[in-house]
A and B are shown apart, each in its own frame.
Chain A
């Protein structure tokens, strides 16, 4: 069974999975970062309190997060078609992945930024820092190790979602597992895809841990 074609297919699966995961993670961070920062600065004890903005954002994030991913993926099919012109394949999977992951990323970022000592933010305010300066020079740099740690968590979660998307038209390892393992009872192929997924998860986590440790100047 391990003919050249099979190996080629597995390689392609790995590449597709990595592509979807990494692209979705990056895009989720673009949107999640904006939402996460807004959640932190707009809360009532934040540096630019805007209770209405906070409340709306909070609801939106909670709503999106309460959708099971597969259902969300089906629900946003019209939107996906509108954005990428199709509903199957890698790029079509990225759309629901980002919609599902961005609020999750927002929460991760919110938690990381809230870890920054309020005293340090206050010190910056006492030196006349503007809101934007506090975000860019205090909150984000001070939370960097925690943010990097969170990004590994986010990437791994998105990897899981991407595998799930194989059930409804997504590509990558998830599709292989379902196509061969579930539809054709080729458990050995399913087994290999699982091993590959585990390896990718391990790599993400190790990379995340390494980056976190390297960036943190607090412990020696």
Chain B
């Protein structure tokens, strides 16, 4: 495999106040590969923002390395760092647009910084606004745009200098669910079409599930677990990760004690009504306690928790049926 585009080694960030010091990050190691949509999830105060801000040195780490394309950003001088930052677009929860500039002037801003001739900058900005679906609002000021539209302008602005990485700090946390959805698909689309690596900071599982390929769970300033989304979400290895990724409805105290099984879908065909066929096959009804399945390109991803019928024979048939479909039943009973 090729060199990761961002490699974080033993990163540490200590905040010093008058009579105390807080370790916001400690011993962080992460590899983010070219083309990944890399999610970083954690609770409030876990250190997510600090981590992403360390990636482009908005926050100076107090230890460790941040390698971007093999170069340690901590060691760069001011002007080299500015140059490196142009290869990393960033978007924010609060959009952070220039309020006294129109949408298109906002997109022109990073181009002005590098001295792009005005006409050329305008042309590029117009293309970018087209890309994010806001060509018709080019002349509007941020105060005339909705939250989702502002975030689109911010994305266009972040893309203006042709970055290789897009850093998103809670980019959808101020938006309603359907707007969140559309912004996430825009980011995914940009990732696919332009091959831009995305780093997504969020506290919402659903954001990671929707677009991320990889995820790191951060807890108390440390990485609890990292890996491909399916692996970390459905087979967490550490306690901290388990607490983070277990949906409220699946907390042990919320489930019945007996005959509870979990099926994880890793992209099996979503065309076959698996559960329906399973019921027909064993001839007994079973109850669905929890289901979170999404469909992507005709394949099913997610998990489902079932309570099996109180019948040995039917249970055996169900296990056999699942096996024949390449699905694994994981016993979650607590007896």
Which of chain A's residues have a CB closer than 8 A to the CB of B90?
A: 123, 126-127
In the complex, the answer to whether A142 meets B98 with C-beta atoms within 8 Å is yes
In the complex, the answer to whether A127 meets B161 with C-beta atoms within 8 Å is yes
CA distance A125 to B56 in the complex (A): 9
Which of chain B's residues have a CB closer than 8 A to the CB of A184?
A: none
Distance between A150 CB and nearest chain B CB, rounded to angstroms: 16
Which of chain B's residues have a CB closer than 8 A to the CB of A119?
A: 92, 94, 96
In the complex, the answer to whether B109 meets A217 with C-beta atoms within 8 Å is no
In the complex, the answer to whether A219 meets B83 with C-beta atoms within 8 Å is no
Which of chain A's residues have a CB closer than 8 A to the CB of B114?
A: 128
Instruction: Tell me the nearest residue of chain B to A130, going by C-beta.
Output: B82
Which residues in window 82-135 of A have CB below 8 A to B? 117, 119-120, 122-130, 133
Distance between A47 CB and nearest chain B CB, rounded to angstroms: 11
Instruction: Tell me the nearest residue of chain B to A143, going by C-beta.
Output: B100
**Interface size on B (CB < 8 Å)?**
35
B88 on the A face (CB < 8 A)? yes
Which of chain B's residues have a CB closer than 8 A to the CB of A144?
A: 100
Distance between B152 CB and nearest chain A CB, rounded to angstroms: 15
In the complex, the answer to whether A123 meets B92 with C-beta atoms within 8 Å is yes
Which of chain A's residues have a CB closer than 8 A to the CB of B101?
A: 141, 217
In the complex, the answer to whether A138 meets B88 with C-beta atoms within 8 Å is no
CA distance A52 to B307 in the complex (A): 69
CA distance A218 to B114 in the complex (A): 27
In the complex, the answer to whether A220 meets B143 with C-beta atoms within 8 Å is yes
Among A123, A144, A216: residue with most chain B CB under 10 A: A123
Distance between A111 CB and nearest chain B CB, rounded to angstroms: 18
CA distance A129 to B58 in the complex (A): 12
In the complex, the answer to whether B141 meets A217 with C-beta atoms within 8 Å is yes
Q: Is the interface of A mostly helix, strand, loop or mixed?
A: helix
Which of chain B's residues have a CB closer than 8 A to the CB of A141?
A: 98, 100-101
A81 on the B face (CB < 8 A)? no
A137 on the B face (CB < 8 A)? yes
Distance between A67 CB and nearest chain B CB, rounded to angstroms: 34
In the complex, the answer to whether A217 meets B85 with C-beta atoms within 8 Å is no
Encoded as 1 (CB less than 8 Å from any B CB) or 0, chain A from 192 to 220 comes to: 00000000000000000000000111111
With A119-B92, A120-B98 known as contacts, the answer to whether A217 contacts B86 (CB < 8 A) is: no
CA distance A123 to B98 in the complex (A): 9
Which of chain B's residues have a CB closer than 8 A to the CB of A145?
A: 100
Q: Can you give 20 contacting A-B residue pairs, CB < 8 Å? A: A120-B99, A122-B96, A123-B92, A124-B113, A125-B58, A125-B85, A127-B113, A127-B157, A128-B114, A128-B161, A130-B79, A137-B109, A137-B113, A138-B98, A141-B100, A142-B99, A216-B100, A218-B99, A218-B143, A220-B143
Residues of B within 8 A of A (CB): 56, 58, 78-79, 81-86, 88-90, 92, 94, 96-102, 109-110, 112-114, 141, 143-144, 154, 157-158, 161, 167
Residues of A within 8 A of B (CB): 117, 119-120, 122-130, 133, 137-138, 141-142, 144-145, 215-220
